[in-house]
Amino acid sequence: MAPSTEEKQFLDKILEEASQLDSPVMFILHKMQNEYRSIKEDHAEYIARSMGKPLSEIYSAATFYDEFKTSPTGKYVVKVCRGIVCHSRNSIQVLNAVRARLDIDDGETTKDGLFTLEEASCIGQCDGGPAMIINGTVFRDLDPDLAVSIIDRIIGSGGA
């Protein structure tokens, strides 16, 4: 498979932006992950070819980092902190509540493609645990009900 014209346009745009940078690869991978929720093989190939790098180089980075996925995540990635401080404040119950609400386990994505659930090690909000982070928004001082209501709010808004 090759990237569609639209996809090529996007990839060309980030290649162009990245060409201004001293160290472009991570920037490109982040942009791809954000846009397509995964690093697709044909995209990686296209990027590698355009940059004159072996595909293995792009792919070895793409597969090393937790943030980059080879299969797409949900639109929202819910990372529930399982760090030691949150743990001591019963983060397991927050995690269980979210698991139950979404009916998925950690590392899985809901069938409608809206949510991916992940366990995170400390996300640096320990003074306000249990904490979770959803697409760059931090939620603190959670309890199971509050966590579920946050998820409900996203679902209620039609995932917009």
Burial label, 155 (beta-carbon count in 10 A; 0-12, 13-18, 19+): middle
Distances in Å between the alpha carbon of 107 and those of 1, 112, 146, 152? Answer: 27, 15, 22, 20
Taking the complex as a whole, the smallest distance from the CB of residue 3 to other proteins amounts, in Å, to 20
If contact means CB under 5 to 8 A according to the sort of partner, which of other proteins, ligand FES, none does residue 64 touch? other proteins
Residue numbers of the site for ligand FES (CB under 6 A)? 81, 83-86, 122-126, 129, 131
Tokens 């299969």, residue located: 71
Single out the residue of 81, 80, 65 nearest to residue 32, CA to CA: 65
Taking the complex as a whole, the smallest distance from the CB of residue 5 to other proteins amounts, in Å, to 26
Taking the complex as a whole, the smallest distance from the CB of residue 141 to ligand FES amounts, in Å, to 11
Q: Give the residue with the Cβ less far from ligand FES, 51 or 138.
A: 138
Q: Give the residue with the Cβ less far from ligand FES, 33 or 125.
A: 125
Single out the residue of 37, 152, 160, 159 nearest to residue 98, CA to CA: 152
The residue type of 141 is D
Residue nearest to ligand FES (CB): 83
Residue numbers of the site for other proteins (CB under 8 A)? 21-27, 29-30, 57-58, 60-61, 64-68, 79, 83-85, 87-88, 93, 96, 120-128, 131, 133, 136-141
Taking the complex as a whole, the smallest distance from the CB of residue 82 to ligand FES amounts, in Å, to 7
- 109 has which bridge partners? 116
